[in-house]
Structure formats: C-alpha cells, structure tokens
Structure 1
Amino acid sequence: MMRAGALQRAFSGHEPAMTTMDQPGILTPSQAREVFRTGETPVTTSGWCRGYVQANLLAVPRDLAFDALLFAVRNPQACPILEVTDPGDPYAREVAAADLRTDLPAYRVYQNGALLAEVPDATAYWRDDLVAFLIGCSFTFEAALAAAGVPLRHIEQGRNVPMYVTSRRCRPAGRLAGPLVVSMRPIPADLVEIAIEVTARYPAMHGAPVHVGDPAEIGVASLAVPQFGEPVEPEPGDVPVFWACGVTPQAVVMASAPPFAITHAPGRMLITDRSDESVAG
C-alpha cells in the first residue's frame, strides 16, 4: 500500500504542493508516476489522478509485435490502442512522458505463458527488442460514471475491480489466441442505462458494456471468484455489468504461451498525461 512518505517525496520538486496528502485522486499524473518509481504499490490505481486517462501495458519481442498489433485491430473493444513504441524504446512519448520500465506500480513477467515474476520495477527484465503497446483502460471512465451518480462499489470498498475470464473467444491473430477478459461493476438496476450511455462515449477505453446480467451467459461461474482483481460485494438491487478489459492480452499470453512478455499487474495501470475529455466521444 502507499505510504505518506512516498507522497511527500512526490512533492519535493517544483509542482504545487498538495493540501491533502492521503488523497491520490488529486495527484497529477507525473506526481503519481514519481510515487510508483519509489517502489510503492497501491492495491489499484482506480480513483488515482481523477480526470486523466489510464492505460494497460503489453510488451512483446519484435518478432511477435505484428501479431500483437493485428490482434488488437481485430479485437478493438478489448484492446483499444493508445500508443505503440519503437522496438527497444522503453519510453512512452505520445500519451505520457513515462519510462515504461519504472512508472507503473507493478508488472508481470511471463515466460512461455507462465507467470515468472511480479515486480514493482521491470528494468531487470526489459529487453532491447521489446515493442510496447499501451491500451485503453476502463478506469478512465469511472470519473464520468461517478459524476453521473453511478456508484462504484470497488472504490467504496477499497478493492481492485474484479476481472473474469469468459467463455467468449477473441478473434485470433497469428500466434495469439485466447479468451475475452471482462471487468465487472455492480450497478443499481435503475442506473444501468445511464452507465451504458456514459461509457459508450469512451470507445478508446473499452466503450459500452459487453454484457449485462447473468454471468453464466458469458461463462463466469462465480462472481465471488475473479481470476484477477478482488471480489466486490454488491448492494441490494445491483446488477452485474461487464466491460471488455485490457487484461485480455494477459489471458491471451497465458493461452498462447509466447516465449516472453511483460504486462502491467492487473488493476495497476500507467497513468498518462492525457485528459479524460480528450478521449471522450
């Protein structure tokens, strides 16, 4: 979890001092990335840096990059691309001035489809042939949902959003194939239509839900047992609503077993310098 000392360090430079040191929602993106470079690993970046786009990370060797790009093009709701780096370049340059090896809270390293390590700094694992893909994240539209009066149970409960591997298959591309992963937010039944309308304005952040209601219809056996993130307790009258999720590439990596890949740790995203309004349709 984040400690006050890390937040204090984030304000040691020339940016304006923060008045409330325990509220990550009012950090600027550059301040948040500075916190993450210290090795602090929050449970989730949901609610951090309100008003700024968050992004998933997938980095693969150059010889797999075309397959990854084609996979994203064929599955745009799960993998809306925000930026692609040049081979061997570990820096984001379009959506943020960020070092992709250090500026996320946590990373997962996969070897032959198996999780090799989860680390707060990927520098030791980064390779000169890696191409990084930054993919839109549904955390981005949560501020708009909250502004529309839609409660966010995972934030209320201080948990990472639950994510589930579904029975729906993505369109394969070259050596990459696998299931769709979804994030789930319990929404009061009378606010589901509002949630659909709000999120549909963010196609670059997964857009409208892919399913509403019975999780069994998409192959989710139990909402209490997410494959990623943490279970969230619904309130009476809530309906489960599911969005395509940028963790889908991780499920595809596990299913396809490429020799090597680096991703973000689920729910712990790159916070970019791009505003939410810049990606709203």
Structure 2
Amino acid sequence: MSFDPATHGHQFFPGSASVGVLVLHGFTSTTASVIEWARAIHHADDAAGHHPSVSVPLLPGHGTSWEDLAKENWHAWRDAVDEEYWRLRSRHDHVVVCGLSMGGALAVQLAARYRVAGLLLVNPALALTNRAAAYSHIARHVVTSVPGIGSDIKRPSEGEVTYDRTPLAAVAQLNLLIRQAIKTLPAVSAPALVFRSAEDHVVAGASVDLIRERSAGPVEVIALPNSFHVATMDYDQGIVETASRQAVQNLMRGLGLTHSAGEVAASA
C-alpha cells in the first residue's frame, strides 16, 4: 500500500493564539483519519481573531508498511508525542491534546505527566473489544500478523487508509501503552471531553468508564449515535468537529473547556 506524505504525513496549521493543539491518530492509521478534525479546531478563534496552532504528527511505524510498525514499541509513540507537545509549548501558553483510539491513550498518558489545558478524546482505546488481543505477546511468536482492523466506519462512502495487515508485535505494544495509560489516570487533572460512538467494533465501552471513574479531572461525555469507531470520518463527524472547535475556543476566551460544549454538539 502506498502512502502519500502530503495526505498521510505530519500536518501543521500555524496560529498565534494562546492555545496550541496536538491531534493524534489511531493504531495502524495515518493523519488522514483526523485531518478534518484538526482543520475544524484550527478555525477556532479568540476575542482578537487569532487561531490556535494545530499539530498532527505521524506516529512512528505508521504511514509506511506494517513491517515497520512491527519493529516499534510504545515508548517510540510516547516520545514522538512528547516532542510535539514541547514544540507547541514553546510557542503557546496552553496545549490541548486530542486523540482518536490509540491516540486517546497516548493523550491520557501525556496528560498524566505534563501540564495540559484539556483533553478531547474520540473513542479512546483503554479497553479493546477483541479479548484475544490480550494474548498478542504470546501469539506474535507463532503468527506474525493478522488482517487489518481499520475502517470501522458506518458511512459506506468513507474508508480509512490503514495497513491491510496488523502486526501482533505492535498489538502487544499497544496493550502495554493501554495498561500504562490506565495506571496513570489518577494523575490526569485536565478537563476531558470524550466522544463515544453508540456502536464501536474496536474499543469497548469500558474505556469511557475508566476515564470517568479514575481521572482526577472533570469528564463530559458526548454521545455519537450514528457512528462506528472512526467517528472523525463517520456520520457524526460534524458533532465531533463542532464541539471540539467550541471547546478550544472556550479556552482561548477564558471559559472552561466543556462550557456549553454538550449543547453545541447536540445542535450540530
């Protein structure tokens, strides 16, 4: 599979507002799955009309081949996210971290270690629907890869560009990341806006429960009634984009992250 760097590589939208935004894609995917979400957030503005910078990094092992992903570990994903976080912090007073699926787990893990102004999470991966994934650290010695898990999208005209194979070595690393993110939840004090699809074939509903029950910060959940896992490309894409843009705009204008976000999403 060929990945065009202009479409699937690192994307950056410059801005001069007090807030910078980091947007993280999911496992085996690329920045293309979250780029419209990032663009929508970039349209937020403060009272002076300034927009936030929005960085959308391509995580290590992604956008090339599944064999490359098999060689990476979760620390490489974490370090890449840290690098982008500090780049935004050097330019902006505050950083909001957004994540889809595995990107959500990385966002949680980062917020537990550094000062974050808010979290915007779409179907964050803290619990997987496939229970066999828990044994990937064993199975990887027998089976190198399995069919790809991408494109869990209800909208028939949409398709997520992902690897057509999923390396079990990388699934084992994803499990380690998930365990670490769950362990650090009590240290997450930033407010969180969590978008949850009514039907998700990749991430279990327990993910949201864990964030609600263990996070130290306030959590607001916005239901996505007509989407599967990749909601940033699905029927409820507008809900995600409108509420996220409003949340970032609230911060830039001195309001709370979740101030009226639920009402805005309901009217989207």
TM-score where L is the length of structure 1: 0.28
Flag the structure with larger Rg: 1
**Which structure features the higher share of strand residues?**
1
Greater relative contact order, per chain length (Cα 8 Å cut-off, separation 6+)? 1
TM-score, scaled relative to structure 2? 0.29
